[in-house]
Amino acid sequence: DTISVIGLGYIGLPTAAMFASKGCRVIGIDINPATVDTINSGAIHIVEPDLDEVVHAAVARGCLSAALTPQPADAFLIAVPTPFKEQNHEPDIAYIEAAARAIAPVLRSGNLVVLESTSPVGATEQMASWLAEERPDLTFPQHAGAASDIRIAHCPERVLPGKVMQELVTNDRVIGGLTPACSAEACNLYRIFVEGECVVTDARTAELAKLTENSFRDVNIAFANELSIVCDGLGIDVWELISLANRHPRVNILQPGPGVGGHCIAVDPWFIVSSSPEHTHLIRAAREVNDKKPLWVLDKIRQAVTCHLDNNSGISTDEVTIACYGLAFKADIDDLRESPALSIVQRLAATHSGSVLVVEPNIERVPNSLRGVELVDEASARARGDVHVLLVDHREFRGMASPRGYIVDTRGVWS
């Protein structure tokens, strides 16, 4: 069987590689020529543990290739981004539309089309109508039911960045076909490499299930973040507090941090809010709590700078060095996308008149947005910093003793 994966990013490429490693013939499609060239050379353009070997081996064996335009296949998996529109937090499914219209000309009777992208409720049905619009010569499940020429399902990805290759195999999959026949075919496809259970539902429930998982996490992180601010005001160590509360058999609080980053948890809850704005007070409030956390951290850093100035009479702000530890959106990865740590350091770089140092063991140079910020090693940050700001609990920092000076520890590593 030939499988075509549309969108070769953090989800599409590992999924394509996984099918190819099981001997399927996989054609990956991406609109970015550099991505296509990199993959065809047997290399990868993203960082994910163990992905490079699997891609390299699959390309070398001729099982995996990449192209810019869709070609005929037996199954199509769509794994393109679904961002939100900045101005109103409404989901933007333009990439799904573009992918659907791009594969439509090569669809053949008997094809399965699976939407993997995290999507607002109704997106799979919408995708099916774009396909039907492009191909009036074929029948689709929304009109023809079980007898349709084309099968369509939603099967949301649920893998954790940093553990993708493992979780792709072991996680259960929620499979929402537009008809039971669509679900059955999608299950057969995923069983090629999925060892977890493939659980069948309808497309709309599958869409909301994925959004619910990430919203659950967002609400729980917001609870921890709110507690951290309450505790700060009361002079109580929030990490000790949470570990004590978590000794209760039915309490399991997550960890506070500088905010919520990555592409998913800070986005997906808005898709629920936009589909039911009147009834999503809690989900919206959690988003707002987590989005405001970086501003609160910046305020704590300013207070620490002020304390340092008060204790060293005669020096001015431009003589105060702020050392920041971590830029990634979470521990032990190099991914800076939507990182609260990065946004905090950017704000410091733009507003602090003294030096800003950053330690980030997982990158070689600072991004352009941090011009003026010096990338240093841990020893030099410890020696030069007056105010030390722990932003990411990378393993390198977990092992180090608390530096001397004013400390703003957003992850409880030095507490």
| Catalytic residue list | 210, 264
Stretch binding ligand SAJ (CB under 6 A), from 228-236, 252-260, 316-324, 346-354: 252-260
Look at residue 13 and give its three-state secondary structure: helix
Q: Is 158 in the site for ligand SAJ (CB under 6 A)?
A: yes
Half-sphere exposure of residue 229: CA atoms within 13 angstroms, side-chain side: 18
Which one, 40 or 255, has the nearer CB to ligand SAJ? 255
- Binding ligand SAJ (rule: CB under 6 A), the pick from 261, 269, 326, 412 is 261
Cα dihedral sign, 107-30-1-150: negative
Q: Please, which residue, 177 or 261, has the CB nearer to ligand SAJ?
A: 261
The count of other CB atoms within 10 Å of the CB of residue 156 is 24
> Does residue 262 belong to the site contacting ligand SAJ (CB under 6 A)?
yes
Three-state SS at 327: coil
Q: What is the side-by-side order of every strand in the sheet holding 322-325? A: 374-375, 356-359, 322-325, 387-390, 406-409
Angle, CA 216 vertex, CA 168 and CA 264 arms, to 5°? 55
**Residue with structure tokens 């192209």?**
67
CB of 161 to ligand SAJ, least distance (A): 4
Distance separating alpha carbons of residues 204 and 123, to the nearest angstrom: 8
Q: Which is nearer to ligand SAJ, 16 or 265 (CB)?
A: 265
Tell the smallest beta-carbon distance from residue 393 to ligand SAJ (Å).
Answer: 8
Size of the site for ligand SAJ (CB under 6 A): 20
DSSP conformational letter for 410: S
SS3 69: coil
Q: Binding segment for ligand SAJ among 27-35, 132-140, 259-267, 376-384 (CB under 6 A)? A: 259-267
Q: Compose the 326-365 pattern: x for residues touching ligand SAJ by CB under 6 A, - for all others.
A: ---xx-----------------------------------
**At residue 77, what are phi and psi to the nearest 5 degrees?**
-115, 125
> Whose CA is closest to 24, among 70, 56, 71, 61?
61
Question: What is the DSSP-derived secondary structure letter of residue 319?
Answer: G
Residue 160 touches ligand SAJ, criterion: CB under 6 A: yes
End-to-end, the C-alpha distance of the chain in Å comes to 55
To the nearest whole angstrom, how small is the minimum distance from the Cβ of residue 210 to ligand SAJ?
Answer: 7
Residues 92 to 131 in contact with ligand SAJ, rule: CB under 6 A: 118
Using CB under 6 A as the binding rule, whether residue 227 contacts ligand SAJ is answered as: no
Considering beta carbons, is residue 3 or 327 the nearer one to ligand SAJ? 327
- Return the range that interacts with ligand SAJ (CB under 6 A); candidates 43-51, 153-161, 240-248, 348-356: 153-161
What's the CA gap between 56 and 64, in Å, rounded?
9
Question: Closer CB to ligand SAJ, residue 263 or residue 388?
Answer: 263
Q: How far is the CB of 221 from ligand SAJ (least distance, A)?
A: 5
Cα–Cα distance between 245 and 353 in angstroms, integer?
Answer: 41
**Which CB atom, from 254 or from 363, has the smaller least distance to ligand SAJ?**
254
CA distance linking residue 176 with residue 199, whole number of Å: 8
Q: How far is the CB of 84 from ligand SAJ (least distance, A)?
A: 13
In angstroms, what is the minimal distance from the CB of 257 to ligand SAJ? 3
Residue whose token pair is 């590689």: 17
Instruction: Indicate which single residue of 255, 275, 306, 362 sits in contact with ligand SAJ (rule: CB under 6 A).
Output: 255
- From the list 36, 73, 80, 159, which residue makes contact with ligand SAJ (rule: CB under 6 A)? 159
CA dist., res. 29 & res. 3, Å (int): 11
Does 387 help bind ligand SAJ (rule: CB under 6 A)? no
Q: Which is nearer to ligand SAJ, 149 or 213 (CB)?
A: 213
Give 275: exposed, middle or buried? Use CB within 10 Å, 0-12, 13-18, 19+. Answer: middle
In the list 13, 221, 272, 373, the residue contacting ligand SAJ (rule: CB under 6 A) is 221
- For residue 269, state whether it binds ligand SAJ (rule: CB under 6 A): no
Name the strand (E) or helix (H) holding 7: none
Residues that bind ligand SAJ (CB under 6 A): 118, 157-161, 213-214, 217, 221, 254-255, 257, 260-262, 264-265, 329-330
